[in-house]
Chain A
Amino acid sequence: MSGRLFWFTAALLLGIAVHLAYILFVPRQQMEAKMSEFSALAGVNKLAVLAPEAVDRVLPEADPALAVAACVFDLSDGPVMVNAKIPHGYWLVSLYAPNGDSFYSLNSRQADVSHLDLVIRNRASAAGDQAVPAPQAGAGNRVTVRSPSLRGLLLLRARVPTPALGPRIRADLTASACAPAT
């Protein structure tokens, strides 16, 4: 009886360990893999507009009603500036940390602009800034975001209301850029 209890307890403890390992580590590993996929498509500190087929590959279940541009940013050498040309209609900017946290987002209702200058800084480099990352509305269309990590992923998505508008909206996004801030 004590032998059975031993093996049962061992299986249970192993189950708990596997359960926790899966929940805690798989998302981060998947996010890292995803950032590598985006890096392969777009490079680092560069913005690329993804073809619908590429979106399907790197963002399973992504809404086909959204055109997607992506930039994997690396703040090791300083801030990164995203100059986004905003298509008419609904758009959404989302920033993700390597652990999968979505730490910032902005949409067309919150900022009804035709272009947006978004500066991404490392939170640690901002002396005394321990606050939750938040937009700092500056002059004009310039927004500064504090990233909790040196690396991350920016997605710029715009609604494509009908398939016929897809090429035009993707062309608008192509005019956007992501590069180290000078």
Chain B
Amino acid sequence: MFGRIKLALTCLIGMAVGLLSAHYVAGGGLDLVARAQGPWRTWPSAGLNTMDPYTKAHFLATGRLPDNRREIVEYEAWSDSDGRPLDAACSYSVQGDFAWSRWWSISVTEKGTVEPRRGGRAYSLDSGEIVLQPDSTALVSVSAHAASGNWLAMPASGAVGLLLRFYDPVPGTRERPGIQSLPRILRRGCQ
């Protein structure tokens, strides 16, 4: 009887450890396959011939296709620049220099969302829609409530993330993440 319980527990623990560790490393944990820059994280081998299996798992296990980094450099952020998890109940400003690619976009994503809900253009902004600051930087207000200027809408509640995609990045930046500045994510207030 005890032997069976031990066997079941061993299987349970082994499977949990295997799955959780795979998720953790593929998700950028330990920075083994992902590179962090402030709150932003990118997977440098995404879509390249040298793509490692963890990077591949990071994208495909969540139903996404890894884009070739020579075409699209993608960053994810799940926390603000002070390290606090992004929360849809709060509003944020994302400010910085985005001008190292032909164009870019910023989108809101929800952790664990299964049901698609973005048939339109909600929760996403294209750089063509952005009005730049006098110093040529961009300032995006991310909030569930309408804001003046470049407003990126968020859902009303829950844990959220930001996806920043640079299309046709200038040579030299795509294979060497970290050499270009990325925007800061500042919390402005919470409800």
**B residues near A128, Cβ cutoff 8 Å:** none
B105 touches A65 (CB 8 A): yes
B21 touches A26 (CB 8 A): no
Chain B interface size range: 35 or more
A171 close to B (CB within 8 Å)? no
Most buried by A among B18, B54, B124, B168: B18
A15 touches B71 (CB 8 A): no
B62 close to A (CB within 8 Å)? yes
B22 touches A22 (CB 8 A): yes
Least CB separation from B22: chain A residue: A22
B19 touches A22 (CB 8 A): yes
**A residues near B70, Cβ cutoff 8 Å:** 105
Interface string of B3-19 (1 = CB under 8 A from A): 00010011101111111
B79 close to A (CB within 8 Å)? no
B14 touches A64 (CB 8 A): no
Q: Which of A11, A90, A102 contacts B65 (CB 8 A)?
A: A102
A161 close to B (CB within 8 Å)? yes
Most buried by B among A21, A52, A61, A105: A61
Q: Which of A19, A59, A62, A94 contacts B18 (CB 8 A)?
A: A19
How far apart sit A39 and B65, CA to CA, in the bound complex (Å)? 16
Q: Which of A16, A56, A65 contacts B119 (CB 8 A)?
A: A56
**A residues near B19, Cβ cutoff 8 Å:** 18-19, 22
**Contact stretch, chosen from A27-35, A77-85, A139-147, A174-182:** A27-35
**B residues near A43, Cβ cutoff 8 Å:** none
A14 to chain B, nearest CB (A): 3
B56 touches A7 (CB 8 A): no
B109 touches A61 (CB 8 A): yes
B128 close to A (CB within 8 Å)? yes
A residues 47-64 in Cβ contact with B at 8 Å:
51-53, 56-64
How far apart sit A24 and B116, CA to CA, in the bound complex (Å)? 27
Interface string of B28-57 (1 = CB under 8 A from A): 000000000000000000011101011011
B100 close to A (CB within 8 Å)? no
A13-B119 in contact given A61-B107, A61-B163, A63-B105 (Cβ < 8 Å): no
**B residues near A17, Cβ cutoff 8 Å:** 14, 18
A15 touches B17 (CB 8 A): yes
Show 8 A/B contacts (Cβ-Cβ < 8 Å), sorted by A.
A7-B6, A30-B60, A60-B63, A90-B103, A96-B65, A105-B47, A105-B70, A107-B71
Which residues does A use to contact B, with CB under 8 Å? 7, 10-24, 26-28, 30-31, 34, 51-53, 56-65, 90, 92, 94, 96, 100-102, 105, 107, 109, 132, 155, 159-163
